[in-house]
Amino acid sequence: MPSSVILSILLPVRNEGINLKLMLKILRAVVEESHEVIVIHDTPDDDSIPVVQAIQKGYPELHLVHNKLGRGVVNAIKAGVEAACGDYILIFAADEVGPVLTIEDMLYLMKEGCDFVSCTRYAHGGRRLGGSWIGGILSRTANRLFHRLSGSPFSDATTGIKMFRRDVFPCLNLQCRPIGWAVAFEMAIKAQHAGLQLGEVPIVSIDRLYGGESTFSLGPWVYEYSRWFLWGLRHSLQNSRGRRKKIKIKIPNFYR
């Protein structure tokens, strides 16, 4: 892979073959920056694999990585970052079509000096559509409380759409259990307390538009998210850098 790659897009998957057919076509058409797409799967029988293999012939920037670090998004991200060549890393969900339109704005903030950029469904025109109504209520409530109580600059710390400089990844020291996308919450919290320059971009999130395999399970998700919620509150009290840190906002032109 040439060193000219600017952006590495990581897509952790679990039987997302249907979504990948659309997502990969959109990424190839929309992303103008020099990039690579890394699809990370846990098992050799994942239905995403033949989809990627069929598209690779005409998309040389597309790669498959078998995650051998252990199942779950957190381990898929670690395996993907290890294989990535880009200066910037984008974590993306294969079933999230809408946020593709904000990649350019995330890159803009990175080039303006941000180290870590998160998307938001709950501010600046962002919206959350579809998905579990219980999950939606928990997400909104948790983000609102965390923002107010911890001083987090993020209005949506739990969204899985994140971009960061590859060289800051070690300082995040991910320790999350492999429960859904709880790792996204951990990443946002630790980026805040690491003193990184932060950014935020609104998205319209349409969850699981074309099927696929959701891993949502109320009990384990509530436990793991609560664990990082309390971790973030505790460190906010101990670390003044984590309180009301400034954040750069980039609102896409079509949201104005």
CATH assignment of the domain containing 197: 3.90.550.10
**Does residue 153 contact residue 198 with C-beta atoms inside 8 Å?**
yes
User: Tens digit of pLDDT for each residue in 42-91?
Assistant: 999 999 999 999 999 899 999 999 999 999 999 999 999 999 999 999 99
Instruction: Count structural domains, the chain.
Output: 1
pLDDT at 256 over 90: no
Q: What is the pLDDT of residue 34?
A: 96
Residue 92 placed within a domain: yes
CA 98 from chain centre, in angstroms, equals 13
Residue 204 placed within a domain: yes
Q: How far is CA 183 from CA 55, 172, 207, 210, in A?
A: 29, 10, 18, 24
Residue 203 placed within a domain: yes
Number of H helices, E strands in the chain: 8, 10
Residue 1 placed within a domain: no
Residue 2 placed within a domain: no
DSSP designation for 165: E
Residue 144 placed within a domain: yes
Q: Taking the CB of residue 199, how many other CB atoms lie within 10 A of it?
A: 26
User: Tens digit of pLDDT for each residue in 1-38?
Assistant: 445 899 999 999 999 999 999 999 999 999 999 999 99
Residue 71 placed within a domain: yes
Which backbone phi and psi does 59 adopt, to 5 degrees? -140, 75
Per the structure, the complete domain to which residue 160 belongs is given by 7-255
User: Tens digit of pLDDT for each residue in 217-238?
Assistant: 667 888 999 999 999 999 888 8
Residue 232 placed within a domain: yes
